[in-house]
Structure 1
Amino acid sequence: MKKTIKQLFTLLFTLMVMITASINVKADNEIVKEDTYYIPYYPKVKAFKIPPEPVSSSYDQKIIALGISNKSIATISSKKNSDGQYVVYLAPKKTGSVNISYDVGGVTHQQKIIVKKYQNPYSKVTINGKNITKQFKKTNVAVVSYKKYKNKKVTIKYKMKKNFGQSHTDYCYKGKISKCIGSFVYKASVKKPKKNATVEASIFNGYDATVNQYSVVIFK
């Protein structure tokens, strides 16, 4: 009788170990389908390096096993953001769509990314009265002379095309915000801008909320 009970306990213990292992394997192989995400493609300009776009949530754990279906459309990477958390980034090379995957804490995330064509949001942009609108026709960066404006108060005025707006505008230096100019403002003033400083505006499209853009005026 004792031998039979011992055998039963051994069998139950073995079953518990197998079930636990099965649960762990299932957790490690869990797949999460993320919502489709849209990012803009900005044609490159020599004066300003366009940073890659964040496409994932932020995580405390390191992101591993990065995968992308088409490297000719974009490259994928992962690094810590300004808050010290890990994020997946995509650097678009052209418009199109790709499927990406990455692992966080034993969970595989899969997502479709659609890279959309840049749209010029401005009908007119001036800096101290000078029209620089044509620089935004093909990409999001306008380059202006640092020497011309370095000791002056600079005022940039934006006039948006229909359905576009600017949610926020900042004066930035060395990749960091030096001055918050304001939200929903269409006139940005800066005193004595520094060389390579930028005025950056976040842009939304009222008819197409799938993708947000931003514009840059750089003092070069």
Structure 2
Amino acid sequence: MPVSISQYWAQLDELGRAVAFVLILMSLVSWFTIFAKSWVFWRIRRSAPEIGRFWEAPTMEDALMILDVVDLENVYVPLAKRGAEAASAQNRVTTMMAKTDPSDVLTRVLRQELNRVTVRLESGLTLLASIGATAPFVGLLGTVWGIYHALTAVSGSTAIQIDLIAGPVGEALVMTGLGLLVAIPAVLAYNAFNRVNRITFAELDGFAFDLHAHLSKTA
């Protein structure tokens, strides 16, 4: 007779329920991160083809206005704005950068903005990787603990029957399945997001290089 979820839950001890709670929490956090990052990356990839309009603007002011509209996730805008500010001599006269070569100033500013964008885009990926790597072992812990209790119960019985072992062991193996159900989506999402990140970083590097070449002439 199949065991219902309520019956299965009632048969778990404190450690088994703790393992189940951890797996449920990991699943909720994983799926929240997956949906949130999917939305962000979808908007970034949707904006990418429109970034070329930045270079079609007649002035930098117009270009920044266009970028504000097309850059839905505000990824390229900080690069352009900070770069334009660094290229302006008026913004350097009262700072230590006044005697620094404008090209070096631009390089430093653009590198800082690229680092900030990188940190932002990679946020959450370590969490997904950790969940994907540890969830199967958390499920395995619940399985081992369940099998231990099943064998302990059988050892106290005078007559050993296969039914006494098969049922509890099968229920314990559910934990392993739950661990895999939590880990597989996290691993797949992590790999997919990494690929999108590589494409986005390559495009950001190209945009920063072009921006540096353009602003170095006007600095």
Work out whether the TM-score is over 0.5. no
Q: Between Structure 1 and Structure 2, which shows a larger proportion of strand residues?
A: 1
Q: Between Structure 1 and Structure 2, which shows a larger proportion of helix residues?
A: 2
Of structures 1 and 2, the larger Rg is shown by: 2
Highest relative contact order (Cα 8 Å, sep 6+), 1 or 2?
A: 2
Given the two structures, how large is their TM-score scaled by the length of structure 2? 0.23
